Chain A
Amino acid sequence: MRYIDPHIHMVSRTTDDYQRMAEAGCVAVTEPAFWAGFDRSSPQGFFDYFRQLTDFEPKRAAAYGIAHYCWLCINPKEAEDPVFAREVIKLIPQFLDRPNVLGIGEIGLNKNSRNELTVLEEQIGLAAEHGQLILVHTPHLEDKRKGTRLTLDALKRNGNIDPGRVLIDHVEEHTVGMVLDEGFWAGMTLYPNSKCTPQRAVDIIEMYGSERLWVNSAGDWGHSDPLAVPKTILEMRRRGHSAATIERITFGNPQAFLGQSPRFAV
């Protein structure tokens, strides 16, 4: 079965992972800009990262028949210094017309600080100014509930953001309701530890329905699984969900949301 992994950090994965994902049915990935595990020492470090996301990585994916798209931003884990963040934000517009750029992401909050919120609001403004889709990272663990609420309020406060063009990622059982109720799209991130499992993701689909909901691996340099989406497909089959519902969650919904960008052609 073909599928899209709409959130995976392929710059941190090996070429063998591309091969295994292609063998499992992956036809497209989208890669949000994120933290490298260490703080970059200068805005120039982000410039080179954006070049990697928009030039090198699509070629690596194409070798396995996988379409590669990306999102650009300064991520919330490096957003505590607004002066530094603004230097990075200034670099982004020159990349927005690259053929694989879908929007601004993954912006959001990490520890729910005032500076993180300021940088989030400025990047929401950047997306509004340039008519870009938005992909949002929500904080993990004890910070998620509050961070999700603060993020939704910031998006609404902007006044120029259509919730149907924003994906709120890493939802769990205590945040998925508020995200969907307010008209946003919701992403469930499947991790071996600390986040949602394929079983819990399928529970959420059963409880909240299959509208405006997708699953992703968020595979990165840490403990993660680039085959988490096909494992969710197996879990849905195990429970007897229809092929149409499985296809909607793992292909149709990502295609519909991402297709709001004229650059997305899958």
Chain B
Amino acid sequence: MIDRKGTCPMTAPQVLDAYYMEHRAKLLDIAAYLDRLDRAQAGEAVADPRTIALREAIGLLIDGQDERVRRVLELLSDPTDEPIAKAGGKGAMGVWPGYMEGVVR
């Protein structure tokens, strides 16, 4: 892994001053989204690949390793290598539909 320390021209205090409030708000958005899921009236979201993957991705943010964005994107990606037989639609759901908890990727 390439050491990318020092590639941002700002000092750490400058990064804090410039971006902390914005990302504090984004963290609260995620917390509110998870609360909203818990408060929803009907249906089940716990087993949905999106929920499973999002909870695992949150773990990557605090595991002490760097390149968090790349690793989150890879966690959410289709890990297979071959073309699919046919496109069933045009859209994407944001996580590989076959995602399962704890799969080493």
Main secondary structure of the interface of A (DSSP, over half): helix
B86 touches A174 (CB 8 A): no
In the complex, per-residue mask of A109-126: 1 if CB is within 8 Å of any chain B CB, else 0: 011111111000000000
A to B contact number (C-beta, < 8 Å): 88
B95 touches A142 (CB 8 A): yes
With beta carbons under 8 angstroms apart, the residue of A117, A143, A149 that contacts B81 is A149
Across-interface contacts of B88 in A (CB, < 8 A)? 111
Main secondary structure of the interface of B (DSSP, over half): loop
Could you say which of B8, B10, B87, B88 has the most chain A C-beta atoms within 10 Å of its C-beta?
Answer: B87
A112 touches B84 (CB 8 A): yes
B97, chain A: closest CB distance, angstroms: 8
B73 touches A77 (CB 8 A): no
Q: Which residue of chain B has its CB nearest to the CB of A172? A: B73
Interface size class of B (residues with CB under 8 A): 20 to 34
Q: A149-B81, A200-B69 are in contact. Are A241 and B74 (CB under 8 A)?
A: no
Across-interface contacts of A113 in B (CB, < 8 A)? 83-87
- Give me the interface of B with A, judged by CB distance under 8 Å: 4, 7-10, 18-19, 67, 69-70, 73-74, 76-81, 83-90, 92-97
- Give me the interface of A with B, judged by CB distance under 8 Å: 35, 77, 80, 110-117, 139-146, 149-150, 172-174, 199-200, 203, 206-207, 238-241
Between A and B, 23 residue pairs with Cβ closer than 8 Å are: A80-B86, A111-B84, A113-B83, A114-B83, A114-B86, A115-B87, A117-B83, A141-B76, A141-B93, A141-B95, A142-B93, A142-B95, A142-B97, A143-B78, A144-B73, A146-B81, A150-B83, A172-B69, A172-B73, A174-B73, A174-B77, A206-B8, A239-B8
